[in-house]
Amino acid sequence: MASIFACSCRKDATPQSPIVGRWNVVSDSVYAGVGLNNHLNVYSGKPGDFFDFARDGSIQMNEGIVLQISTYTFNKDSVIIYEFDEGLQGKGKLSPAADTLTITTGYSHTPGGAIGRTVHLSR
């Protein structure tokens, strides 16, 4: 009697990155307005707000009714999000415990006021 045994084994060549997956928005701070009206707006994350990092380098960022799709790169504990905020890149560091992530564009001061954005995420 002959037996046939088939095994479909797949080994993923890309190691699982600690950043991959859905992150909750804790807060999002951004400067708005021009001149004397320039001020910092701080948004507190709500249920359903998320940043979802996919293995293919894409990211979905959802806050309220705003959904943004972009791309990112990750190396060791650092992330760069391209087109993070109005054409600016966001750069971030993953916490040693891999449960918090802070992403910022950095801040600059212009004659029209401050420009910059910082997002705090958690698992």
Q: What is the tally of structural domains in the chain?
A: 1
- Asked, for residue 13, whether it belongs to a domain, the answer is no
- Asked, for residue 2, whether it belongs to a domain, the answer is no
The answer, yes or no, to whether residue 121 has pLDDT greater than 70, is yes
Q: pLDDT tens digits for 39-97?
A: 999 999 999 999 999 999 999 999 999 999 999 999 988 999 998 887 789 999 999 98
- Asked, for residue 7, whether it belongs to a domain, the answer is no
Question: Given this model, what pLDDT does residue 5 score?
Answer: 39
- Asked, for residue 14, whether it belongs to a domain, the answer is no
- Asked, for residue 51, whether it belongs to a domain, the answer is yes
* Structural domain span for residue 29: 21-122
pTM of the model: 0.82
pLDDT category, 113, cuts 50, 70, 90? confident
CATH of the domain at 27: 2.40.160.90
d(CA 12, CA 105): 33
Pairing of strands 78-85, 21-32: unpaired
Concatenating the DSSP letter of every residue in 54-117 gives -TTSEEEEEETTEEEEEEEEEETTEEEEEEEETTEEEEEEE-TTSSEEEEEEEEEEETTEEEEE
Question: Given this model, what pLDDT does residue 15 score?
Answer: 52
Mean pLDDT, the chain, integer: 86
- Asked, for residue 9, whether it belongs to a domain, the answer is no
The mean pLDDT value for 4-33 works out to: 72
The mean pLDDT value for 7-36 works out to: 76
- Asked, for residue 5, whether it belongs to a domain, the answer is no
Question: Given this model, what pLDDT does residue 114 score?
Answer: 87
What does the longest C-alpha to C-alpha distance in the chain come to? 87
- Asked, for residue 8, whether it belongs to a domain, the answer is no
